[in-house]
Amino acid sequence: MSSFRVQIHPTAFEDIDSATDWIALKAGPEKVAEWLDSLHACVETMKTFPERCPLAKESGKWGPEKLRQLLFQAYPSKYRILFHIAGDVVHVLQVRHGARRWMHKEGE
């Protein structure tokens, strides 16, 4: 069984910060800790067989890389972890609330 490294890009960290700020306002800091623990556990699963995750709706518009998604459900709703695989590295590009618009490259 091969093992992958997971690299979280700055845009994904920005998404995580925004989500935790919102959760802190709505539900308090204890929920933020639970959400972060759940997110970390979900991301860790991508170290093994990330190809199991389906292509994201945006994949055809993204370019030559296959943009994949891993659904993550924790308070308060569903999120999509958007990533692509290059060699043995999983590049986490965004962590998007399920209701947000599809992801596009900058400038589109």
**Is 103 part of any domain?**
no
**Is 18 part of any domain?**
yes
Q: What is the pTM assigned to this prediction?
A: 0.84
pLDDT in tens, 2-32: 699 999 999 999 999 999 999 999 888 899 9
**Is 107 part of any domain?**
no
Cα–Cα distance measured from residue 2 to residue 49, given in angstroms and rounded to the nearest whole number: 7
**Is 74 part of any domain?**
yes
**Number of domains the chain contains:** 1
- Which residue range(s) make up the domain with 9? 5-97
**Is 106 part of any domain?**
no
Cα–Cα distance measured from residue 24 to residue 84, given in angstroms and rounded to the nearest whole number: 29
**Is 22 part of any domain?**
yes
Three-point CA angle 11, 15, 18, nearest 5°: 135
Asked if pLDDT for residue 54 goes beyond 60, the answer is yes
**Residue 43 burial (CB count, 10 A):** 19
pLDDT in tens, 64-108: 678 999 999 877 678 999 999 999 999 999 999 876 555 555 434
